[in-house]
């Protein structure tokens, strides 16, 4: 009787072949999901083990970013040199001049007898400024008393004044006097590729240094 009842139930419209097909598809889909999850986990574990055991795998080295810089042609030459010869090397830097914190400045003496164009003169002033500043940074140390003065000059405007210098003889005399007082004094010699003759001294940078001492050297000159 029980077998006949089961056959009778399966034969009823409420449990047809469509219901059986649906149940089979659900079971098949579930089995596929389980299989895929198992396979994916096994692959991940195998890949991780391979990376750990492989000596050839290394961290990616970061390649430096190459910055592209455009070369800009200017009226001025890059071969200009500073006069690095110390006229009086025995005088310690600012040894006779520094008397405590105070106003500092740099002066740039531009030769007027060369008739340089404004752009040329400005470029030569830039060369001189950088040459003098580098020399001072090389010679002065943190424990020197003048270090505080240089730091104040760097932080508060970096005062600079351009003055007229009539000729090379006057420029060399002022350079010698500045160095005798312990000031940095760097003159620029032009490469001679544009407006003036090669090795012509164009600009003298005096300082940065105490204003009173710089004025002692250049205070009589007129503004450029």
pLDDT of residue 135: 92
Query: Over 90: is that where the pLDDT of 23 sits?
Result: no
The boundaries of the domain holding residue 104 are 81-218
Residue 169: half-sphere exposure toward Cβ, Cα within 13 Å: 0
Whether residue 93 is contained in a domain is answered as yes
- The per-residue pLDDT for range 71-98, each reduced to its tens digit, is 333 344 445 666 555 444 445 555 445 5
Whether residue 113 is contained in a domain is answered as yes
One domain for residues 119 and 182? yes
One domain for residues 128 and 39? no
One domain for residues 125 and 47? no
Q: Report the CATH number at residue 101.
A: 3.40.1490.10
In whole angstroms, give the CA distance from residue 204 to residue 190: 12
- The per-residue pLDDT for range 130-141, each reduced to its tens digit, is 999 999 988 888
Whether residue 65 is contained in a domain is answered as no
Within 10 A of 177 (CB to CB), how many other CB atoms are there?
17
Burial class (CB in 10 A: 0-12, 13-18, 19+), 97: middle
What's the whole-model pTM score?
Answer: 0.60
- The per-residue pLDDT for range 102-120, each reduced to its tens digit, is 789 999 999 999 999 999 9
Whether residue 39 is contained in a domain is answered as yes
pLDDT of residue 146: 82
Whether residue 72 is contained in a domain is answered as no
One domain for residues 126 and 214? yes
Average pLDDT over residues 183-187: 95
Average of per-residue pLDDT values in the chain: 76
One domain for residues 153 and 194? yes
Number of domains in the chain: 2
Contact 83, 189 (CB under 8 A): yes
Average pLDDT over residues 18-24: 65
């Amino acid at each position: 009787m029980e077998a006949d009842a089961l056959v009778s139930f399966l034969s009823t419209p409420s449990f047809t072949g469509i219901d059986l097909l649906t149940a089979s598809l659900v079971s098949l889909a579930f089995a596929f999901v389980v299989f895929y999850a198992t396979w994916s986990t096994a692959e991940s574990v195998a890949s991780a083990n391979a990376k750990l055991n492989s000596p050839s795998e290394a961290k990616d080295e970061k390649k430096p970013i190459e910055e592209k810089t455009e070369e800009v042609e200017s009226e001025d030459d890059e071969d200009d040199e500073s006069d690095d010869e110390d006229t009086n090397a025995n005088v310690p830097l600012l040894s006779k001049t520094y008397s405590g914190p105070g106003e500092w400045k740099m002066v740039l003496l531009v030769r007027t007898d060369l008739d340089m164009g404004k752009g040329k003169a400005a470029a030569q002033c830039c060369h001189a400024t950088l040459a003098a500043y580098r020399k001072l940074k090389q010679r002065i140390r943190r424990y020197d008393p003048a270090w505080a003065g240089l730091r104040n000059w760097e932080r508060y405007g970096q005062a600079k004044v351009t003055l007229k210098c009539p000729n090379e003889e006057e420029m060399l005399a002022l350079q010698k006097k500045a160095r005798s007082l312990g000031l940095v004094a760097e003159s620029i010699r032009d490469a001679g590729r544009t407006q003036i003759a090669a090795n012509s001294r164009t600009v003298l940078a005096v300082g940065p240094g105490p204003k009173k001492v710089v004025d002692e050297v250049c205070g009589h000159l007129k503004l450029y």
